[in-house]
Structure 1
Amino acid sequence: MLTSAFRSPAAARWWTLLLTFAALALLFASEALAHNVAEGDKGYIQESSGVLLLPFIYLGAKHMVTGYDHLLFLFGVIFFLYRMKDIGLYVTLFAVGHSTTLLFGVLTGISANAYVIDAIIGLSVVYKALDNLGAFQRWFGVQPNTKVATLVFGFFHGFGLATKIIEFDISKDGLIPNLLAFNVGVEIGQLLALTAILIIMGFWRRTPGFIRHAFTANVILMTAGFVLVGYQLTGFLSA
């Protein structure tokens, strides 16, 4: 679908400029990338005790709406999905994966290096962009199972957040209800973010230039993923 865009000099010039802008924007926004949590929210989580459903729903929704990694991945997942049935299926797979490892990680105390997990999450964005560009078919003659990939990367996204929450040493008093509330908030935030993305995509898809600029958008998406990976690996090596 996007093969012709590779041969367009105009598209090449545009995506080169946009890639530079996207990379710089992400670098300047590095404090907000991945699973960083605002200092005020971090302090609240650490000091909270007892069942606090509404505050944790809010924190979960805020995390999803402001989470660059989640939004980039979701944008890539729905980029070429037109039917609500398909969008619902893929978003549900991502939500199941995200929720499972978030709850499992926090309740069991199992964690991993946050930088490594977030680097893998950056790779999930790169994967989805390459998939949208048809790179796997063109380079290797195979097409990864997109449903399985969405579920698996959902696991990593949830585990990344679980690792961060474990670092906060959240109180055991009211832990399970608060975690469930946080998870509900994440899903609410995901619906809000998804609604905004679908509205924008809906207008864009009705323009004559959508297919022509789809290549550009996915190369930018891929570059953003690589910036996320580079940022996290730099943090890992300098920690």
Structure 2
Amino acid sequence: MVNMLKRYGWLSFIVILAIWLPTNAIAHGVDDDTRRFLEQNSGVQIIPFLYIGAKHMITGYDHLLFLVGVLFFLYKSRDILLYVSMFTLGHSLTLLFGVLSDIQINAYLIDAIIGFSVVYKGFDNLGGFNHFFGKSPNTKLAVLIFGLFHGFGLATKLQELQLANNGLVTNLIAFNVGVELGQFTALAIIILIINFWRKHNSFSQFATITNSLLMSTGFMLIGFQLTGYFIS
């Protein structure tokens, strides 16, 4: 086992670190320049909100870690499109609904649930549900439900900012489209890495280690967010 980790462990970190390193310490974090722009903006600003949405998704490592788990054992393009569409539908609905309806949900608790979604998918990919419970949950439904929570995660951060009402709906739609563009860009890279490794005999070890790391990272996210909730 030790030799296997030495041999293949660094390869698994490609998927994790490629997502993790460019990010801030807190999921969905908004940098100061972006915060100032959003708070000072008035009127329709489609291109800037497209850019901010794409940037937000690419640096939203918790979203991408979940999607790594979702896509890991999908081989057909139509299956990938279906699952990504389910996730997109879920987080698009709650992103727009959460902001426009001003639904206030504690950001730490939402991000803890998002961390749990990462644990769930890693555990599912490792066959944990079949092993311990004899049955795996409906993956499509789970992806849709967790997509709803991921959307609320995005909405909570936007709600922390003082966004102008003038042009808000158009700007939110542009932001959401940007999120999707960022998501598909990141997923294209992730799929290329996974498909490349499927051609190697070490893929089964790579899969085991990577999904174990997904679970570990998800647990760390849960612990980090719950700690923030209880001490805030």
SS in 2 for 1:147: helix
AA aligned to 1:144 is: P
Matched with 2:160 is 167
> 1:32, CA displacement in angstroms?
3.4
TM-score by length of 2: 0.92
1:1-239 equivalences in 2 (<5 Å): 10-11=3-4, 31-239=24-232
- The separation in 1 between residues aligned to 2:195 and 2:16, in whole angstroms, is 26
AA aligned to 1:166 is: Q
Q: Deviations over 1:7-54 (max 9, x none)?
A: x5644677899999x999999988433111111111111111100000
Asked if structure 2 preserves the Cα contact closer than 8 Å seen for 1:33 and 1:67, the reply is no
Asked if structure 2 preserves the Cα contact closer than 8 Å seen for 1:115 and 1:232, the reply is yes
- The separation in 2 between residues aligned to 1:18 and 1:79, in whole angstroms, is 15
AA aligned to 1:216 is: I
Q: Which ranges in structure 1 are unaligned for 5 or more consecutive residues?
A: 1-7
AA aligned to 2:26 is: L
SS in 2 for 1:104: helix
> 1:178, CA displacement in angstroms?
0.1
AA aligned to 2:72 is: F
Asked if structure 2 preserves the Cα contact closer than 8 Å seen for 1:15 and 1:220, the reply is no
Q: Which ranges in structure 2 are unaligned for 5 or more consecutive residues?
A: none
SS in 2 for 1:32: coil
Q: Deviations over 1:141-183 (max 9, x none)?
A: 1210000000000000000110111110211010000000001
Asked if structure 2 preserves the Cα contact closer than 8 Å seen for 1:15 and 1:219, the reply is no
> 1:211, CA displacement in angstroms?
1.2
CA 1:77–1:24: 2 relative to 1, 3 Å: closer
Asked if structure 1 preserves the Cα contact closer than 8 Å seen for 2:39 and 2:163, the reply is yes
- The separation in 2 between residues aligned to 1:80 and 1:30, in whole angstroms, is 26
Identity %: 53
CA 1:82–1:156: 2 relative to 1, 3 Å: same
SS in 1 for 2:43: coil
AA aligned to 1:83 is: K
Runs of 4+ aligned residues of structure 1 deviating over 3 Å after TM superposition are: 8-20, 22-33
SS in 2 for 1:76: helix
Q: CA RMSD in A?
A: 2.6
- The separation in 2 between residues aligned to 1:102 and 1:187, in whole angstroms, is 12
- Count of paired positions: 231
